[in-house]
Amino acid sequence: MQIQNTYRNVDIFSYLKNYIYKEEFDLFSLNENGNKTKVEYITIENKEYPKFINEFWTSKQRQASSLHEISYRACFKPQLPRFFIELLTDKNDIIYDPFTGRGTTIIEAGLLGRNVIANDVNPLSKMLSYPRFFIPNLKELENRLNSISIDKNTKKDIDLSMFYHPDTEKEIISLKKYLRKKKENNTEDHIDLWIRMVATNRLTGHSPGFFSVYTLPPNQAVSQDSQKKINERRKQIPEYRNIKQIILKKSKELLIDVSEEQKKILSKVGNKAKFISTDAQFTNGIKDKSIGLTVTSPPFLDVVQYDKDNWLRCWFNSIDEKKIAEKITMSKTINNWCEVMQNVFYQLFRITKYDGWVAFEVGEIRNGKYRLDEYVVPLGLKAGFVCEGILINQQEFTKTANIWGVSNNDKGTNTNRVVIFRKNKK
């Protein structure tokens, strides 16, 4: 790999119009901040590939839907999939994400009237994404919550006193038992699924909007011992939280800017959507040449420990987090990560239709030691794709990104690095 330190001020609009064969683009939707796109050329396997560098979808970008506000580790902004979905697809095209996570890509695709296929080996992914296609009436939701009885004498199977007030803990356990019984009896409807999703998202956090006392942000749960230390350091004890009120309040926040028309569109998409929970290397259930666009972000080596972060969510949903840990690809070396992703790309090539696209988002990890986009390009080429370039979206640095091991450049920003592939006709 060789990087040429040659920079040219170009208009990405012109490049995309020439190479992606679309007739019309909105220039400002591609480059809203008015700055010219900087291009750096990288040589991989004796061929040059452009890196387009700018702030494409954060500055002055349209506000993302409130429906996305579900916390999950290592998820990208909704503006990222929207950028590619609007640019590269039409209504009724199928959008796919092999590492769905909280569902950012598929929810955004649904809002835009595209069909979706979602895959994630972690069963929590479907629990957090599927219910948002079938939005309940708030009054019906309130009535359902009020109908759930709270067992004051319920017995707990693990000690959660460091997180919850005793009465709050009884409410959580009662809700857990209610949902488990509905699932076992196969009577869980869209309202129950919505309640499960919101409750799972509200288990722990750092404000009164969560069931727990102050702890880490809601996208990760600390251990019981770690929470005890947090309580000692902050001199805090869990206060009572009414979980039904919190679930209803969060539901209203999720739906604050979701229109009735959008609800209908999501329901229509959801009725045709396909949700898979398997290894992204082996997705035989997806038809050949059926996907118009894949927008995804895979696990970045072992930067995020999904099983440890989600142990409390797994407990609430009666999931064995150890089994999840066995299934999730958490490669410890770059070579092993590339081996796994190569198999993923073989699958992506098989299922992508001719003139279909893959937008594969990766980052800089291990303090900038690895720029994963430079490793991804050869993987896509070997699978049979054409690489149209790498889109590098600069954005303001966040503390959370630093925790994940995402590096900053010398201007104090971090980046989304999206490798763009196309499947040519033979």
- 193 in a structural domain: yes
> What pLDDT score was predicted for residue 266?
98
Which pLDDT band holds residue 421 (cuts at 50, 70, 90)? very high
Question: Is 143 a residue whose pLDDT tops 70?
Answer: yes
Q: How many domains does the chain have?
A: 1
**β pairing state of 364-365 and 291-296:** unpaired
pLDDT tens, 368-414?
A: 566 888 899 999 999 999 999 999 887 654 444 443 344 434 433 35
pLDDT tens, 184-204?
A: 999 999 999 999 999 999 999
> What pLDDT score was predicted for residue 396?
56
pLDDT tens, 214-266?
A: 998 766 789 999 999 999 999 999 999 999 999 999 999 999 999 999 999 99
Domain that holds residue 191: 136-254
Please, are residues 76 and 361 in contact by the beta-carbon 8 Å criterion?
yes
> What pLDDT score was predicted for residue 401?
42
Please, are residues 277 and 341 in contact by the beta-carbon 8 Å criterion?
no
CA proximity to 277, closest of 21, 54, 98, 143: 98
Which pLDDT band holds residue 74 (cuts at 50, 70, 90)? low
> What pLDDT score was predicted for residue 30?
46
**What number of residues does the chain have?**
426
pLDDT tens, 6-43?
A: 334 444 444 454 444 333 333 333 444 556 677 788 88
> What pLDDT score was predicted for residue 10?
43
- 95 in a structural domain: no
CB atoms inside a 10 Å sphere around CB 369: 10
Q: In three state form, how does the secondary structure of the chain look?
A: CEEEEEEEEECHHHHHHHHCCCCCCCHHHHCCCCCCEEEEEEEECCEEEEEEEECCCCCCCCCCCHHHCCCCCCCCCCHHHHHHHHHHCCCCCEEEECCCCCCHHHHHHHHCCCEEEEECCCCHHHHHHHHHHCCCCHHHHHHHHHHCCCCCCCCCCCCCCCCCCHHHHHHHHHHHHHHHHHHHCCCCCHHHHHHHHHHHHCCCECCCCCCCCECCCCCCCCCHHHHHHHHHHHCCCCCCCCHHHHHHHHHHHHCCCCCHHHHHHHHHHHHHCEEECCCCCCCCCCCCCCEEEEEECCCCCCCCCHHHHCHHHHHHCCCCHHHHHHHCCCCCCHHHHHHHHHHHHHHHHHHEEEEEEEEEEECEECCCCEEHHHHHHHHHHHHCCEEEEEEEEEEECCHHHHHCCCCCCCCCEEEEEEEEEECCCC
CA atoms within 13 Å, Cβ hemisphere of 335: 0
CA proximity to 97, closest of 360, 394, 417, 324: 360
CA distance 75 to 95: 17
- When mean pLDDT is compared over 49-53, 61-65, 284-288, the highest value belongs to 284-288
- 390 in a structural domain: no
> What pLDDT score was predicted for residue 151?
92
pLDDT tens, 301-346?
A: 655 566 678 899 999 999 987 777 666 666 778 899 999 999 999 9
> What pLDDT score was predicted for residue 399?
43
- 104 in a structural domain: no
Question: Is 68 a residue whose pLDDT tops 50?
Answer: yes
- 356 in a structural domain: no
Percent of the chain scored above 90 by pLDDT?
A: 59
> What pLDDT score was predicted for residue 154?
86
- 248 in a structural domain: yes
- 189 in a structural domain: yes
Reported pTM: 0.87
pLDDT tens, 342-359?
A: 999 999 999 999 999 999
- 392 in a structural domain: no
Question: Is 364 a residue whose pLDDT tops 70?
Answer: no
